Amino acid sequence: MDNKRGQWGSNFGFLMAAVGSAVGLGNIWGFPYKMGKTGGFAFLLIYLALVLLVGIIVMLGELALGRKTGKGVMGTYLEFSKKYSWLGYMSVISGFLILSFYSVLGGMVLRYAVGYFLQLIGLDGFAGQGTGFFGYLLYDYKGILLFYALFMIITVLIVMGGIEKGIERFSSIAMPALFCILVFVIIYVAIQPGAIDGYKFMFMPDLSVFSDPQIGFFGVFKAAAGQMFFSLSLGMGCMMTYGSYLSKNEHLQRNSIIIPFADSIVAVMAGMAVMPACAAFGVEYNRGPGLLFASMQTVFDNMGGFGTVVGFLFYFLVLIAAITSSISILEVCTAFQIDKDMAKGKEPNRKKVSLIYAAIIFVFGLPVALDALGSGNALIKAPYELLGFEYKGPGFAMWNDCWLDLYDLIAEGILMPIGALVMSVLIGWVWKTTIIKDECEKSGDKFKAYKYYDFCFKFVVPVIMAFIFYAQLVDFFG
């Protein structure tokens, strides 16, 4: 492998970075709130089944292809044929869309962490608004822009540092810290009276949501599938890019199981922090972005004096999770350009490339930062007004009136499933699964359960993916 691209220093470092990419707002905010909306236990069940049948398979596919070619997502597809360049572009565009809304949310998390920090040292961190701060922040455009920019700057500084000295070093400290804080928050929440209802909601076998006409099996399935892709950072070349920095000695198959396993554990743990906390203080679970901000702030406020400490720790934890994910998304774009420059024989300039991409993505994210998350009367008009769709009403689909949801729908709902679907079909039918097996066996380990993987690449993943994609289309076009 060319050292100009960089390489992970150790398998532990790689795992921390990859698990860091996977564990993010998707786990701590998305998972509990989607679970809250779609029936708790039923969602958990389908989610875990999808991780086993699809997540682990696609994860291995991405890691193996990336390591085989030693290139990012575009470089990897081009290595096979020029005609696949559209797959590379799709992935980079997903990265643009996701990072732009992700960083706006990350900025808000940073704002809350700073707010609680100020409270800790005896100042008013929430502009005199108390638990009403979320409604205030949405329209405080200067504040949002400032924290959005700060979050993006933190992201780019780490990526500029490179693979081993930037991303790996940060993740190797941040991820264990995140885990410890999460355990502490879970324990503290568990001793609050009334917390038990939250666990019941998560773990009591209850499948009644399947007969709910509004949601049904289909609704739960769709929510769980989108969540799985997003949460495992799959379908947009992120794991391919991270795989390209892995040494041939590492055990790919084992890594491809550890990452989804760790991600799912953290998602369930995040649920065990958020849901019982909401249950204990009578706050609704299913409040969208508000869950992470307005609801949790209400929870910490009601915990009494120690609530400020727990609140600070909680937002600090979410901030770490968000940063280790945002750097992986920016890395997809950075590697895209670095590979392109190197193919032309140019000396790659990581610092310059990541800075330029971050700046462009920042501009992309401005509508998300300035539309008050679709709450109306904002600085920037809603997508349906600006792009001239027919307004289908707020109950129909949020992408009508919220830029974040529109970006998310295009990336998580369309581009990522297509990316994963096409990749599995290519692996299963065109290139054949032996390329994955051969790459995995380069470390000297025997590839286990080849028949299972072969079957999943060929049939299970494509069928499930096509189904998800169909469901998204139905949603999109009504």
Q: Alpha-carbon distance 408 to 106, whole Å?
A: 15
The tokens for 48 are: 């875990």
Of the candidates 315, 308, 275, 293, the residue with the CA atom closest to the CA atom of residue 178: 315
Q: Please state the closest distance from residue 402 (CB atom) to ligand PHE, in A.
A: 18
**Given the complex with ligand PHE, which of 272 and 378 has the nearer CB atom?**
272
Find the shortest distance in angstroms from Cβ 25 to ligand PHE.
4
Tell me how far, at minimum, the Cβ of 144 lies from ligand PHE, in Å: 20
State the virtual CA torsion across 111, 115, 116, 121 in degrees, nearest 10.
Answer: 140
Closest CB 105 distance from ligand PHE, rounded Å = 9
Query: Token pair 């992408």 is at which residue?
Result: 399
* Amino acid in the structure at residue 112: Y
112-to-109, 236, 303, 315 alpha-carbon distances in Å: 5, 29, 17, 6
Judged by beta carbon, residue 6 or residue 24, the one nearer ligand PHE is: 24
Smallest distance from ligand PHE to CB 22, Å = 5
> Would you say 58 or 280 has its CB closer to ligand PHE?
58
Longest alpha-carbon distance in the chain: 64
Please report how close the Cβ of residue 174 comes to ligand PHE at its closest, in angstroms: 14
Output the CA–CA distances (angstroms, integers) from residue 326 to 146, 264, 369, 373, in the order listed: 17, 19, 16, 20
**Shortest CA distance to 325 belongs to which of 475, 109, 82?**
109
Of 295 and 328, the one with the shorter C-beta distance to ligand PHE is 328
Minimum CB distance to ligand PHE smaller for 17 or for 382: 17
How far is Cα 182 from Cα 173, in angstroms, rounded to an integer? Answer: 15
Residue 75 is classified by DSSP as H
Q: How far is the CB of 428 from ligand PHE (least distance, A)?
A: 23
Query: Cβ closer to ligand PHE: 233 or 354?
Result: 233
- Decide whether 215 or 416 has the Cβ nearer to ligand PHE: 416
CB 44 within 8 A of CB 219: no
User: For ligand PHE, which is the closer residue by CB, 280 or 404?
Assistant: 404
Minimal distance, residue 125 CB to ligand PHE, in Å: 25
Give me the least distance between CB of 386 and ligand PHE, in Å please.
25
Amino acid symbol at 382: A
Q: How far is the CB of 234 from ligand PHE (least distance, A)?
A: 7
Nearer to ligand PHE, 185 or 270 (CB): 270
360 touches 352 (CB < 8 A):
no
Asked if 209 and 220 touch (Cβ cutoff 8 Å), the reply is yes
CA distance 261 to 253: 13
Q: Whose CA is closest to 354, among 162, 160, 186?
A: 160
Q: Alpha-carbon distance 83 to 261, whole Å?
A: 34
Contact 9, 314 (CB under 8 A): no
Nearer to ligand PHE, 266 or 370 (CB): 266
Single-letter amino acid, residue 322: A
Closer of 17 and 370 to ligand PHE (Cβ): 17
Q: Which stretch of DSSP H or E encloses residue 174?
A: helix 169-190
DSSP structural state of residue 215: T
Q: Minimum Å distance from CB 275 to ligand PHE?
A: 18
Interface residues toward ligand PHE, by CB under 6 A: 21-22, 24-27, 98, 230-231, 233, 236, 238, 325, 328-329
Handedness of CA 134, 140, 144, 147 (dihedral sign): negative
> With respect to ligand PHE, which residue has the nearer C-beta, 303 or 321?
321
Please give the Cα distance from 346 to 348 (Å, whole number).
6
CB of 98 to ligand PHE, least distance (A): 5
